[in-house]
Chain A
Amino acid sequence: MSLPATLPNGYLPSGVHIAALSEVITRFGTTTPRRQVLANRLQELLTLARATVRLQRVFVWGSFVTDKPFPRDLDVFLLMQEGFDGELIRLPQAQRDVFNHQRARLLFEADVFWATEAIGLEELASWLGVYQLSRDMIPRGIVEVTFDDRNP
């Protein structure tokens, strides 16, 4: 297991923690019925995002990756291959829903943030820095999700 224990404040320690999806699900998606529901939603949305074959990296933060027994929703960032933005309109509806904020909230109980690699590494790092602070400005860790088959 590569994910560290949560701190007394319920958050992961600061930093970006890399973990396989299976580990994320085992750790955060099993202990309560609410967590099981959100874990299923996460797997559904990631299956659809991966089906585009343009998914490069995945980050998860927010209440799901804390020790709260009843997380409100999922917060996810999907980094897509450069050029994906031009393909968005041609995706099957089920895949396109992942990248539509309102549809994603409705279907997956998730705030899905996304961009393509064209955004640049510097902006990506800056963005990830924003989410390593809670809305109460408390430092917290976020999770980069990898896949067991190593193929995004």
Chain B
Amino acid sequence: MIETPEQFERAEEAITKMKRFLLAARRTHTPEAYAALSAPILQELQDRERDILDYLSRSPQVASR
């Protein structure tokens, strides 16, 4: 669970890197291979974005308790 602004920043950076990896993979792999290799990454992205939304859904007071 993301608890601090620093963790939030790191989580955002990680998501940016994962999206960049996917963009590179789209350019460099066949459509069939991309469909296969992107599946676990997209799942992971979804999980991590959920973590971020969870953090953003809590007010700072609640998040710091």
Interface residues of A (CB under 8 A from B): 84-86, 88-89, 99-102, 111-116, 118-120, 123, 126-127, 129-130, 133, 135-137
Contacts and interface: CB of A to CB of B under 8 A. Distances in A.
Given A102-B39, A135-B48, A136-B1, A88 B17 contact: no
Interface of B: 1-2, 6-7, 10-11, 14, 17-18, 20-21, 24-25, 28-30, 32-34, 36-37, 39-41, 43-44, 47-48, 51
Contacts of B10: 133, 137
A133 B39 contact: no
Contacts of B29: 85, 115-116, 118
A1 B7 CA distance: 33
Contacts, number: 72
A137 B17 contact: no
Interface of B is mostly: helix
A96 B7 CA distance: 37
Contacts of B48: 135
B37 A99 contact: yes
A119 B7 contact: no
Given A85-B30, A119-B24, A137-B10, A130 B36 contact: no
